[in-house]
Amino acid sequence: MQKSVILFVLVLCCFGCRKEGLVTCDDSTTSLYKMASFHVGVAANVDLLENNPAYRNIVINQFNVIIPERAFIISRVHPQQGVYDFSEFDYLADFCKTYNKHMQGANLIYQLYLPDWITNFSGDEQAWETLAKDHIQTIVSRYKGVVESWMVVNEALNEDGTLQNNIWQQHIGDGYIEKFFAWAHEADPHAMLFYNDYDLENNNQKLNAALNLADMLRSKGIQIDGIGMQMHNEVQFPTVDEVNKAALQVASHNYKVYYSEWDISFNLMKNKTVLTGDMEMEQKYLVKAIVEGYRQLPPKLQYGISFWGVGDADSWIRSHYNRIDWPLLYDDNYIAKPAYCGFAEALNAP
């Protein structure tokens, strides 16, 4: 009987958060970024901003950092040699100016989603350097003073911490990362520069390699301001302690800590078909605990927390892994989930 009463109360709390709103987390009266002392961002989809009013209103009201979800995939922004398409990124830049948002560029260089002209490019090391430098500096120069920070290099490390044998390493050599950071800094000396990768919060070997890489850049006088921990998490792992420990380790090296692509999914094994109230509450308390832990970092090193999408229906996880999942703060109908409440409650905590 006692367990039934507890479950009933939890269901009521969950329902209240989503349908009626609680004092601390009603998304019609609460703005996450206005409550936070750090950036609260989102990866924004231009098509949805243009065509979905519910999506657009959430982005305007809840987040103060806008990240291009797709606009900076190299095959989209630089589809042919010497040809750039800035239409989507220009739209986001204008959006940020209109609504007083910060803009973050992601990702300048990545080894995936390359256009054919790059994968088939033939040339010596100097030619490849010219290609990469032109790409980086054309983009960064165009948005100088508009983009506050750049994810310069994304996912350059293997799980064991070794440098990936990707197309840039193959043609430019192991020093390509320091060159890319130096070129980005030349194009905009005032922009903050980050290295970004996944599994840093639960793979200490990879995290140590990322910090060693950053320390190496810094020792050579090359600007690097922070580490982006992607945080594509499952409900069961990594643990809150693992996340907190990794964040503290980044902070101990005096780098800004950025949870850069956060989502928390449930269905890795593809064995769930519906989102239950218990699952929602589990996600809520995990979000709350992680945000509370983030708030314990030195304030000057709290760059921000960004989500990789708004509503569950928009999440990359569904299309990329071909599975149903519920990883974001809003459901398929853009109604705030208990996870949203967890974030708000963590910001309200003493």
Residues in the chain: 350
Helix (H) or strand (E) holding 14: helix 2-15
> Is the bond into 107 cis (omega within 30 degrees of 0)?
yes
Beta-carbon contacts of 141 under 8 Å, excluding residues fewer than 6 positions away, are 187, 188
How large is the average pLDDT for residues 295-299? 97
Of residues 146 and 2, more confidence is placed in 146
Provide the percentage of residues in the chain whose pLDDT is more than 70: 93
- How far CA 318 is from CA of 41, 116, 165, 331, 345, in Å, comes to 21, 26, 28, 13, 28
State residue 14's pLDDT score.
42
pLDDT interval class at 268 (50, 70, 90): confident
State residue 29's pLDDT score.
78
* 3-state secondary structure string across 25-36: CCCCCCCHHHHC
Q: Among 194, 245, 261, 233, which residue's Cα sits nearest to residue 43?
A: 261
Tokens of 328: 């974001």
Using one digit for the tens of pLDDT, what is the confidence trace for 37-56? 999 999 999 999 999 999 99
Of residues 9 and 285, more confidence is placed in 285
Backbone angles phi, psi at 123, to 5 degrees: 175, 165
For the cut 80, the answer to whether the pLDDT of residue 18 exceeds it is no
Tokens of 24: 């601390």
Verdict on whether the full-model pTM lies above 0.85: yes
For the cut 60, the answer to whether the pLDDT of residue 301 exceeds it is yes
The mean-pLDDT minimum among 63-72, 169-178, 219-228 falls in 63-72
Beta-carbon contacts of 218 under 8 Å, excluding residues fewer than 6 positions away, are 224
For the cut 80, the answer to whether the pLDDT of residue 23 exceeds it is no
Question: Does residue 345 contact residue 290 with C-beta atoms inside 8 Å?
Answer: no
pLDDT interval class at 167 (50, 70, 90): very high
Q: Among all chains, which residue has been given the structure tokens 């479950």? A: 7
Backbone angles phi, psi at 240, to 5 degrees: -60, -40
For the cut 50, the answer to whether the pLDDT of residue 243 exceeds it is yes
Angle, helices 277-294 vs 240-252, to 10°: value is 20
Share of the chain residues as helix, strand and coil, in percent rounded to the nearest 5:
45, 15, 35
Cα separation, 248 vs 245, in Å, equals 5
Query: What are the beta bridge partners of residue 193?
Result: 150
Using one digit for the tens of pLDDT, what is the confidence trace for 132-148? 999 999 999 999 999 99
Using one digit for the tens of pLDDT, what is the confidence trace for 146-166? 999 999 999 999 999 999 999
Q: Among 33, 43, 21, which residue's Cα sits nearest to residue 228?
A: 43
How large is the average pLDDT for residues 108-127? 89
For the cut 50, the answer to whether the pLDDT of residue 13 exceeds it is no
Beta-carbon contacts of 206 under 8 Å, excluding residues fewer than 6 positions away, are 157, 158, 159, 160, 161, 197, 199, 200
Of residues 300 and 74, more confidence is placed in 300
**Domains of the chain, start order:** 38-348 (3.20.20.80)
For the cut 90, the answer to whether the pLDDT of residue 9 exceeds it is no
Using one digit for the tens of pLDDT, what is the confidence trace for 184-219? 999 999 999 999 999 999 999 999 999 999 999 999
Q: Among 287, 306, 314, 256, which residue's Cα sits nearest to residue 63?
A: 306
State residue 21's pLDDT score.
34
State residue 25's pLDDT score.
57
**CB count in 10 Å sphere of residue 60:** 16
State residue 71's pLDDT score.
79
State residue 170's pLDDT score.
94
Provide the percentage of residues in the chain whose pLDDT is more than 90: 81
Mean pLDDT of the chain: 90
How large is the average pLDDT for residues 103-122? 88
Cα angle, residue 231 at apex, residues 189 and 239 outer, rounded to 5°: 135
**CB count in 10 Å sphere of residue 339:** 28
For the cut 70, the answer to whether the pLDDT of residue 33 exceeds it is yes
What is 192-207 written as a DSSP string? EEEEEESSTTT-HHHH
Using one digit for the tens of pLDDT, what is the confidence trace for 302-327? 999 999 999 999 999 998 899 999 99
Query: What are the beta bridge partners of residue 345?
Result: none
**CB count in 10 Å sphere of residue 158:** 13
